[in-house]
Amino acid sequence: MEEVDKILIHALRHVGTELGVEVDSLKQFSSDLIVEAVVRCVRVIEPGLGGALPASLPPGMSARFRVGMSLAQACQDVGYKGEIGYQTFLYSNELEIRSLLMFLVEKLPRESAEASDQSTGKSAVLQRAVAAAIRAQLAAAWVPPSCRLPLHCETQSQGALHSFHVQPLTFPHCTEASDLQRLKDVKDYHRDVLPPVTAQTSSRASTAASILERHTAELSGAQEWDSEWKSQGLLSRLTPQEYRSRKLTRLRKRIEEQLRSAAAPSSERAFSFSRSTPELSELLQTFRGSAPFDRVLTKGTHFTHTRKFTFTQEEAAVTSPVLTGRQSEGDIQLRQQEELASLQEQFQQLCSDVDQLAADMKHVNVTNAQVLDELKQRQLGNAEEEEKLQVKKKTVDLLPDAENNLLKLQALVEGGAKRVVNLASQWEKRRAPLIDEYRRLKEICSNKDLESNRKLSEIKSLHEKICVSTEEAKKKEEMYKQLVTELESLPKDVSRSAYTQRILEIVGNIKKQKEEITKILSDTKELQKEINSLTGKLDRTFAVTDELVFKDAKKDESVRKSYKYLAALHENCNQLIRTIEDTGTILREIRDLEEQIETENGNKTVSNLERILDDYRAIRQENSALAAKVREG
């Protein structure tokens, strides 16, 4: 039981029970320690049920009995089926406590079990402390600066707050290049030229925000690619590289089409923009700005540049004498206002003209489209009328020689019918093998589809298994690192051979016990077989003897007396055998009673009775004190 007690003590410590280093067995558990261990386990198993239970015994005896009853009820609610009551906690029994704690430890959730298996190294303790501090800060309510107390200034001070400013970062990454020289150049750039992450940002406050933004973008991109590959990539039945290249090709074609439509003339551009996607159209419109369609992506000629230059020179020559004249500043401002008003009027007139022209162009375009539709309809009608006219013309040409033409037409119809019959027979000859081939190919295609769907489902299941295995591998890798740190922190003077020798001795003792048990069982089986054979032999001998003596007893008086003695002997032997069996049963009962006596002696019955008497006296004293207070009141 020592190993079981060590396992239970280890689990109870990780649950939160305060156990001393010297405690290594359940015999050393006091009532307070038992109550604390049970309450900690119940709180982990059922937080709502264990939240109302105290972790220690109160000083009053009546309160202790109530706590013991509530603990027993809580253990029964959790699912414990053994005998339990207040005496289990107040007057502890080692066997009952061991069985109860074993049940509660096995009932602990898996997360707690994994936490109990984790190491207590420095890194694990630091990670738990950081996580606890973050949870505490997240749980605290935010308080406005004007309402903050000195207690809140440490965690919610304005000095620790910064705006979330993000800057682009460049991380070293592995490239798959067939050219070794290019790969070497990339590595040299990452090692010698690329600055560290902390030097790529303008301020230290934006470094953490930039790193979080970069990692979030990479994580979201990986998740989007994973979901897209599971939903569309697997159905395309392409490799990931082929699927990426095809998607990139489609995107490039789409951008090229949008750029061509943006560089097209105004009429074509208006038509192409009506068909293009709104997102890219808005993007090109932002690049275009407020310039009209005629000035976008156009290159001026030498003539236009010369004209603009001369016009600017003439305007400067005209305006220079005006500016150099001897006029007052008021006249200049008045003239500028007049010119501005005239220019505004011209601008409004031009805007109205442009709007009118745009409306006229829309009307003309609509009218042109209607005319084109009407023209197409009339052309189709003219074609139909021409076909009818040709048929009527040929009919009119055949009317003068109608009899001969009818005979010729009948001969043509009969020849056409014979040819149709011949073609039908030939088609039937070719149709049967083609239908068989079609059915065979259709069946093969359906089988391939079923096989591909099955393989696709297998691929999806394998992908899910790979994800699960990856997560398990990560958890095991973290656990391995923690165990390595714990191993490094353990004392090195302990010899492994001593533990190995102890394990081998335990295994050897178990083997010896198994051999002895097997030997005892085989001896018992042999004795039982021998007893059965002797009993059968005795019964058969008595039956034969009884039959022989009974035959002779009919003739001779002395033989009759021998028969009576034989029956009495058989009865005495049976009684003797029953007595021996009853003696063995009594001896077994005696041994069982002795074992029960030893068990009761180990249960500390006498000491428990003494404690019960002391508690009874304490309860009587409390009752008398309460009664005295009631009388005084």
Please give the residue that has the higher pLDDT: either 155 or 163.
Answer: 163
pLDDT at 303 over 60: no
pLDDT at 150 over 80: no
* Percent of the chain residues past pLDDT 70, beyond the cut: 80
* CA–CA distances in Å: residue 583 to residues 470, 531, 534, 589: 67, 17, 20, 10
Q: Does some domain include residue 241?
A: no
Contact 258, 284 (CB under 8 A): yes
Q: Does some domain include residue 206?
A: no
Q: Are residues 355 and 393 in the same domain?
A: yes
Domain of residue 379 covers 333-400
pLDDT of residue 270: 47
Q: Are residues 453 and 357 in the same domain?
A: no
Q: Are residues 518 and 441 in the same domain?
A: no
Spacing of C-alpha 463 from chain mean position = 13
pLDDT of residue 621: 84
pTM assigned to the model: 0.33
Digit-coded pLDDT (tens) for 168-219: 888 877 655 556 777 788 888 888 888 888 888 888 888 888 888 888 888 8
Q: Are residues 425 and 381 in the same domain?
A: no
Q: Does some domain include residue 633?
A: no
Give the chain's domain count.
4
Q: Are residues 340 and 430 in the same domain?
A: no
Q: Does some domain include residue 436?
A: yes
Q: Does some domain include residue 530?
A: yes
Q: Does some domain include residue 365?
A: yes
Q: Are residues 383 and 405 in the same domain?
A: no
Q: Are residues 339 and 372 in the same domain?
A: yes
Query: Considering 400, 417, 438, which residue would you say is the last residue of a domain?
Result: 400
Contact 108, 7 (CB under 8 A): no
pLDDT at 138 over 80: no
Q: What is the mean pLDDT of residues 274-300?
A: 47
Digit-coded pLDDT (tens) for 85-127: 878 888 777 888 888 888 888 888 765 444 444 444 556 667 7
pLDDT band for position 586 (cuts 50, 70, 90) = very high
Query: Considering 117, 140, 167, which residue would you say is the last residue of a domain?
Result: 117
Residue 164 — left, alpha, or beta (φ > 0 → left; ψ -120 to 50 → alpha)?
beta
pLDDT of residue 178: 55
Digit-coded pLDDT (tens) for 459-468: 888 888 998 8
pLDDT at 293 over 80: no
Q: What is the mean pLDDT of residues 307-319?
A: 48
Q: Does some domain include residue 360?
A: yes
Extract the tokens encoding 286: 């932002």
pLDDT of residue 326: 46
Digit-coded pLDDT (tens) for 434-458: 899 999 999 999 898 888 888 888 8
pLDDT at 250 over 60: yes
Q: Does some domain include residue 205?
A: no
Rounded to whole angstroms, the Cα distance separating 497 from 504 reads 10
pLDDT of residue 120: 46
Q: Are residues 406 and 396 in the same domain?
A: no
Rounded to whole angstroms, the Cα distance separating 25 from 97 reads 12
Give the CATH number of the domain where residue 84 resides.
1.10.418
Q: Are residues 375 and 405 in the same domain?
A: no
Rg (CA), the chain: 52
pLDDT band for position 292 (cuts 50, 70, 90) = very low
Q: Are residues 418 and 396 in the same domain?
A: no
Rounded to whole angstroms, the Cα distance separating 104 from 88 reads 15
pLDDT at 61 over 90: no
Query: Considering 84, 117, 150, which residue would you say is the last residue of a domain?
Result: 117
Residue 212 carries which side chain, given as an amino acid letter? L
Q: What is the mean pLDDT of residues 392-417?
A: 81
> Average pLDDT, whole number, for the chain?
78
pLDDT at 267 over 50: no
Please give the residue that has the higher pLDDT: either 59 or 140.
Answer: 59
- The residue count for the chain: 633
Most confident by average pLDDT, 79-93, 163-177, 348-362: 348-362
Q: Are residues 444 and 375 in the same domain?
A: no
pLDDT of residue 569: 84
Q: Are residues 386 and 405 in the same domain?
A: no
Most confident by average pLDDT, 238-242, 264-268, 270-274: 238-242
pLDDT band for position 158 (cuts 50, 70, 90) = low
pLDDT of residue 473: 92
